[in-house]
Structure 1
């Protein structure tokens, strides 16, 4: 049985955006964001999203995005601050 998906409240996700996104990216773990006591959306690692994407073209774009994100991770981290 897979481990339950971590959840975080919407306000907490906004306040701790860097920490939550780091958990998704580095931990390769999806996180459910709750708003008004209901799941609002799920943040998923790009690889998981690519696996869910329909067409090979969609996956190709996501692979490129993933490569760019990895290559420029240091720059993106500085911009996120």
Structure 2
């Protein structure tokens, strides 16, 4: 989050938005708290994967994109496990 240039409050808001978009995209029925968790953890995972591949997103929009992609991955993994 620090390298994306956003603070904790913004990360929670953007993470929640990313998680909500991902849950709607993946037709998953999760609550607002789970959306925030999926978005924040998803952004961290996706940012790590993208940096490993040499791709970087910056700022709020980059964090939102990474959160969306990461949350979609987490929802998919959760469905595959259960």
Q: TM-score, normalised by structure 1?
A: 0.28
Q: Counting helix residues as a fraction of each chain, which structure ranks higher?
A: 2
Q: Counting strand residues as a fraction of each chain, which structure ranks higher?
A: 1
Higher relative contact order (CA 8 A, sep 6+): 2
